[in-house]
Structure 1
């Protein structure tokens, strides 16, 4: 099977500090991968490097998407290919509404549709996420609560419908009801054809979604991987056993 995404021997830094130290990851079409690990282990760095955030410098390795080397491509080009990153802390963007932001993103990708058809699709997705209709006309994330911002990220995911979604702690700081809503939106997106990388510290977002693989990152590398049993052990014991095994 040809990998949808392949991260091969990637090393990456922020400023002078190396964060990723030989990262390897392969995601096939239709797969859900969960990434866990202690704070500062490199989870968010991996997400941002895959998406070509210019604040991060990839010093070694390759990134392939649908078999093509995208290592030198900019963020917008990767997005047009079908990559999507949901931010851990979504930014406020005054002056552009949620509706216009999503519509412009679709147009930038070359997708033209009537305003009526677009609005109907947007309303349907907002209803699924328990979002009030008036949020469509509000400036993106301006004055939004944490839960509202995360729902807006999932709304963008559903409307843009990328091939691979990377969710960077989308469930962080959310109450149980908001996590359930976000999980419902993610389940709607995962139709068997789409793939996802879910970075999380908790199992709550995975209650309706069964991951194919669970990876644990520590000190810039994937140190163990498997299935649900890894999440069970982390919930029971924390990450101490990971650090002990790596030290041994």
Structure 2
């Protein structure tokens, strides 16, 4: 349960804080499936926020299919979807940008090592699979569609497969489309030129990773993957800040009429 004395972390909007608080309470069983959430006035007091913040948080929980609101009756907790059966149990119900950033933090540790192992163990077929994925990514780089996301997933999965250790690939398969934060980044409006530049930067980072794996340079492969995923995290952090400022009615700093500006570091080709 949230308390008035609990410190709010800097950088998070009040809405994000309430979403995280209620999500945690739902997952820990404080609010069971089918039970009714407390009324707005009580949530306002529990969380120490305004009615507007509570309503925005409930809307986000509805979008995440954690609750449903019945007109004139109240807001009720839904059943949390069970994770697919697997040797590895991962929660893929991503609710907020902060969840996606946590996934990226996890991926940095896992996929950096996977890239290093792939550099040692890759076969010609593995390299072919990586190149095919990047060619598809390049072809669809001007489009906002699932083909581009699938190509991105295919590239990372091909690297995991090249390790020869099935658990790397199992982790990525379990996470599925959650490993690609592009839909969250697309929540911020971009011009076609910004969209093109954004995807070209990702493609460039991918090429650096592929080059190191193909050369069998394990250390460079680890470093390139770490740089790529760290850049993804920073791009998402920028989106979170822009959205928080938009919610507060402030023109985002360093932006053009609220349009997303990519500030992540450019990859260094070797």
TM tier, shorter chain? under 0.3
Structure holding more helix per residue: 2
TM-score where L is the length of structure 1:
0.25
Relative contact order, higher structure (CA 8 A, sep 6+)? 1
Structure holding more strand per residue: 1
